[in-house]
A and B are shown apart, each in its own frame.
Chain A
Amino acid sequence: MYSKILSLFVLVVTLLLHSCGGKENYEAISESSLYPGGTATTDDFSVNAFGHAAPNISDEDQLRFVTGNAFFKRNWVTAPSSTSDLDGLGALFNARSCSSCHFLDGKGEPGFEKGQSSALLFRLSIPTEAGGTLAEPNYGNQFNHLSILGVKEEGQVNIEYEELNGTYPDGQSYSLRKPHYTFTNLNYGTMQEDVMVSPRIAPQIIGLGLLEAVDENDILNLADPNDKNSDGISGRPNYVKDFTGDSLELGRFGWKANQPNVKQQVAAAFQGDMGLSSSLFSDENETLSQARFINTVTGGYPEVSDDILERVTLYSQVLAVPKRRDAENQNTLQGQQLFTEIACSSCHNPSFITADHSDIPEFEGEKIYPYTDLLLHDMGEALADHRPDGLATGIEWRTPPLWGVGLVKTVNGHTTLLHDGRARNVEEAILWHGGEAENSKNQFKKLSKIERLNLIAFVNSL
């Protein structure tokens, strides 16, 4: 009892000392940085923090948002159905609705405890002799673990986590979990031995229209493919096919920046995740070898009408970004300063000023704070999927935006991060960084415990 009281006393004194001592006044931050989405910012920090339309869009778009929201949440069903607008699911799929993976417009988690999570999908391809890639012949571009009745699903994926222990220079220990994936119960033959597998988790989908509105040159100005400034950080653009015009465009969305715009991202998800055709992607998601076994009716062509595609696209473009929380307390401010000092901000580029947006004029000229450069970076061997995607190599990933990251726990009840949700929190995500971020990570490890906590507090204030 006595020793307990004593240690409590010590703790209180320590806390008091900390709050009194040290550098008190960190550089004040600008008022605008409290509103990461500019005028497209919401001050709702509840479970619905990611679900609001940007307050500045037109009344007409507000109503289209309502329809987009409905189709984002609604389940698609087997064709033919009385609800003909919503039929044509599958035959192979990962999810029945967008919100199944982006629940409350938020972030998915691996969560394999309850059976395979739809929010974590697996892209597949095989290398060609010419150095390119092709879809896996039997299973296609993406593994579908679900199917409509009468059709066999592709199979299941098992995850096993291996705990890797490590220690900070100050002696504090940590543990990271490394996933191992195996495909089981394969129903369409064997997978080719040289198959390349890329796990991808569903991210929160706020502020996407604002990222679309960032001028391409502003992104390219951040690129340094040959590392001319010798900071160890390159930053390369991905160029990917724009299916509306058949041209190559700068990739902005997806874990490897493999989609040029929100509309194509949405259409690709309808096709790949739900087996639904649209005017952008007219095919079903079955491979030729699967088509021999699958003889189902379609929901008419296109299964996702242009009206629905447009509404869901608009919905995904205009979801507002939550305002910063606790941004101005001393701990967060110190964390923010450290974030810059150890060069996290070299890739997690704090801000842009948006240029014009062809569909949403209200998004022009906003100062936004997404904390991304939308470029590809070598993230090291430990995170590599070894599956090239467009110009992205097997060890490169796009810097994901950090806005909203601290509210994922409120919205989705978890704090997992990185492309496959392996990191259980911000700290682990930082510790997984390697490659171009190796230096920053090592500097993070050398910080004092309080400094580390403050840096994490800063990230969670975004």
Chain B
Amino acid sequence: MKKVFLFILTSITISCSTKEDISKKEVVENYANIAYTNYHDTYNQALALKKEISTFTENPSTEGLENCKKAWLLARESYGQTEAFRFYGGPIDGENGPEGQLNAWPLDEAYIDYVASEETHNINIINSSDKFPNISADFIASMNEKGSETNVSSGYHAIEFLLWGQDLSDGPGAGQRNYKDYIEGKEGTAENANRRKTYLLETTNLLLRDLNSVLTQWEPKQQNYRAQFIATPDQSIEKIVSGLGKLSKGELAGERMFVAFDLRSKEDEHSCFSDNTHNDIIANATGIQNVFLGRYKRVSADSTISGPGLYDLLKQKDESLAEQLKQTIAKGVAESKKIKSPFDQQIKSEEGRKQIAETISLFRKQGDLLAAAANKLGFKFDPEAT
């Protein structure tokens, strides 16, 4: 009896909430829809990548390798946008989240396969069949965390390395792996081609498994993270805003761009084997814009999700801040698209550095503005702290 009464009381409290609370709930629900759809696209793109990799490993050819690379590049476009759902301990990077296994870098490439060095030749997982007889998704996951330390050996960048190969060139140009690395016997260009195939397939399986684990947490009408997320709109708004701010300033402007810019450090960049870092930046910036505006353009089908976003919520509190953020974010996306490829060469040229610096300062400003937005919404976070 008491319980029922309490329930009724709670329901009344909820239904009595102000108009603004309702719109918070709407924003959170729309966010959850975007997250689910974005991860759904990402999963499908990874499936398409898996399909190309299966075809390629069955019958290796130049064309097959090129198809794999194209599929990988496409898969990165949607994954990059999902990073807007990071930095608040959600399904992707909470305590048991797979982020470290999916997207960590720098990759410990010499730990996985041969690199250009006589001395370390054959002392890596692929070329040590006696030490590591069976390569499976579980085995790769265990090697990734061996000895209480992370040895990055899985995820998108492991696949990237196995497709493109090491990029040791000083000038422009991505890795130059020969498709014959996947042909066993005399014709082949490297030993243990079959083990390399297995590694490539199994690390892709692991990627699919990890993405699926995140996807199911955002699925509608389940007892999952999403259900809890929608039920607590106040906390969830804090997560959404702080996640965007941290991705903007600490991660994107700082870790991913300023560090390479500061030290003119070649290959100290996200997708160094494929020279795709410029697109990673655009995808992150787009992901932030998606969430802010509450809309998402699907990659696989030609449709758009649209609903109330942070912009609408903030507008009720401070219209000019909402407008300023909207414009800064749009400018950040536009300026990031002007960074030429490859990123590792642009950080060396005067013109390239100017464009990168301009984009970094916009992303930093965007992080600070999101922190200001948080103050307006009644909470605090540090956009520098990832």
Complex Cα–Cα for A95 and B128 (A)? 23
Contact of A66 with B by CB under 8 A: yes
Q: Is A146 a contact partner of B149 (Cβ separation < 8 A)?
A: yes
| Chain B 128-160 near chain A by CB (<8 Å), digits 1 or 0 | 100000000000000000011111100000000
Q: Is A66 a contact partner of B166 (Cβ separation < 8 A)?
A: no
Closest Cβ–Cβ distance, residue B95 to chain A (whole Å): 11
Give the residues in chain B near A75, CB-CB below 8 Å. Answer: 104, 106, 108, 149-152
Complex interface: stretch among A110-118, A213-221, A264-272, A358-366: A110-118
| Chain A 73-88 near chain B by CB (<8 Å), digits 1 or 0 | 0110111111111110
Complex interface: stretch among B3-11, B116-124, B192-200, B329-337: B116-124
Q: Is A81 a contact partner of B109 (Cβ separation < 8 A)?
A: yes
Contact of A441 with B by CB under 8 A: no
Q: Using CB atoms, name the residue of chain A closest to B152.
A: A75
Complex interface: stretch among A44-52, A228-236, A344-352, A391-399: A44-52
Q: Is B151 a contact partner of A96 (Cβ separation < 8 A)?
A: yes
| Chain B 342-386 near chain A by CB (<8 Å), digits 1 or 0 | 000000000000000000000000000000000000000010110
Instruction: Tell which of B107, B119, B148 touches A296, judged by Cβ atoms closer than 8 Å.
Output: B119
Q: Is B123 a contact partner of A150 (Cβ separation < 8 A)?
A: yes
Instruction: Tell which of A78, A96, A295 touches B110, judged by Cβ atoms closer than 8 Å.
Output: A78
Closest Cβ–Cβ distance, residue A114 to chain B (whole Å): 6
Give the residues in chain A near B109, CB-CB below 8 Å. Answer: 77-78, 81-82
Contact of A64 with B by CB under 8 A: yes
Known: A75-B152, A115-B148. A67 touches B258 (CB 8 A): yes
Contact of A63 with B by CB under 8 A: yes
Complex Cα–Cα for A87 and B106 (A)? 10
Complex Cα–Cα for A70 and B258 (A)? 10
By DSSP majority rule, is chain A's interface helix, strand, loop, or mixed?
loop
Closest Cβ–Cβ distance, residue A85 to chain B (whole Å): 5
Give the residues in chain A near B108, CB-CB below 8 Å. Answer: 75, 77-78, 81
Complex Cα–Cα for A115 and B148 (A)? 7
Q: Is A115 a contact partner of B147 (Cβ separation < 8 A)?
A: yes
Q: Using CB atoms, name the residue of chain B closest to A114.
A: B148
Q: Using CB atoms, name the residue of chain B closest to A62.
A: B384
Complex Cα–Cα for A81 and B149 (A)? 19
Contact of A258 with B by CB under 8 A: no
Give the residues in chain B near A118, CB-CB below 8 Å. Answer: 148-149
Instruction: Tell which of B120, B166, B268 touches A85, judged by Cβ atoms closer than 8 Å.
Output: B268
Instruction: Tell which of A64, A145, A296 touches B120, judged by Cβ atoms closer than 8 Å.
Output: A296
| Chain B 242-261 near chain A by CB (<8 Å), digits 1 or 0 | 00000000000011001100
- The residues in A between 219 and 272 inclusive whose CB is less than 8 angstroms from any CB of B are none
Instruction: Tell which of B119, B262, B385 touches A63, judged by Cβ atoms closer than 8 Å.
Output: B262
Give the residues in chain B near A145, CB-CB below 8 Å. Answer: 147
Contact of B280 with A by CB under 8 A: no
Contact of A297 with B by CB under 8 A: yes
Contact of A202 with B by CB under 8 A: no
In this complex, how many residues of chain B approach chain A with their Cβ under 8 Å: the count is 42
Known: A77-B106, A96-B149, A150-B123. A297 touches B255 (CB 8 A): no
Q: Is B110 a contact partner of A66 (Cβ separation < 8 A)?
A: no
Contact of B301 with A by CB under 8 A: no
Give the residues in chain B near A163, CB-CB below 8 Å. Answer: none
Instruction: Tell which of B111, B258, B265 touches A149, judged by Cβ atoms closer than 8 Å.
Output: B111
Closest Cβ–Cβ distance, residue B122 to chain A (whole Å): 8
Number of A-B contacts (CB under 8 A): 124
Q: Is A295 a contact partner of B149 (Cβ separation < 8 A)?
A: no
Closest Cβ–Cβ distance, residue A148 to chain B (whole Å): 8
Contact of A354 with B by CB under 8 A: no
Q: Give the contact-size bracket for chain A.
A: 35 or more
Complex Cα–Cα for A74 and B115 (A)? 21
Q: Is B382 a contact partner of A52 (Cβ separation < 8 A)?
A: yes
Complex Cα–Cα for A307 and B268 (A)? 14
Q: Is A146 a contact partner of B147 (Cβ separation < 8 A)?
A: yes
Known: A70-B254, A118-B149, A149-B125. A83 touches B267 (CB 8 A): yes
Complex Cα–Cα for A150 and B114 (A)? 13
| Chain B 181-217 near chain A by CB (<8 Å), digits 1 or 0 | 0000000000000000000000000000000000000
Q: Is A80 a contact partner of B168 (Cβ separation < 8 A)?
A: yes
Contact of B263 with A by CB under 8 A: yes
- The residues in A between 74 and 110 inclusive whose CB is less than 8 angstroms from any CB of B are 74-75, 77-87, 95-96, 100
Contact of B266 with A by CB under 8 A: yes
Closest Cβ–Cβ distance, residue B259 to chain A (whole Å): 4
Instruction: Tell which of B147, B151, B166, B258 touches A82, judged by Cβ atoms closer than 8 Å.
Output: B166
Give the residues in chain B near A63, CB-CB below 8 Å. Answer: 258, 262
Give the residues in chain B near A372, CB-CB below 8 Å. Answer: none
Contact of B175 with A by CB under 8 A: yes
Contact of B273 with A by CB under 8 A: yes
Instruction: Tell which of B104, B148, B258, B267 touches A84, judged by Cβ atoms closer than 8 Å.
Output: B267
Closest Cβ–Cβ distance, residue A76 to chain B (whole Å): 8
Q: Using CB atoms, name the residue of chain A closest to B109.
A: A81
Contact of A426 with B by CB under 8 A: no
Closest Cβ–Cβ distance, residue B153 to chain A (whole Å): 10
Q: Is B110 a contact partner of A84 (Cβ separation < 8 A)?
A: no
Q: A75-B149, A118-B149, A307-B262 are in contact. List 6 more A-B contacts (CB 8 A).
A: A70-B254, A75-B104, A77-B108, A85-B265, A297-B117, A311-B263
27 contacts between A and B (CB under 8 A): A48-B385, A63-B262, A66-B255, A67-B258, A75-B104, A75-B152, A77-B106, A77-B109, A77-B111, A79-B117, A80-B115, A81-B108, A83-B107, A83-B272, A85-B265, A95-B149, A96-B151, A114-B148, A116-B148, A149-B124, A149-B128, A150-B120, A295-B119, A297-B117, A297-B120, A305-B263, A311-B262
Question: Footprint of B on A, CB under 8 Å?
Answer: 44, 48, 51-52, 63-64, 66-67, 69-71, 74-75, 77-87, 95-96, 100, 114-118, 145-146, 148-150, 295-297, 305, 307-308, 311
- Which 9 pairs, one residue from A and one from B, show the smallest C-beta to C-beta distance? A150-B123, A78-B110, A83-B106, A77-B108, A70-B259, A66-B254, A82-B167, A85-B265, A82-B267
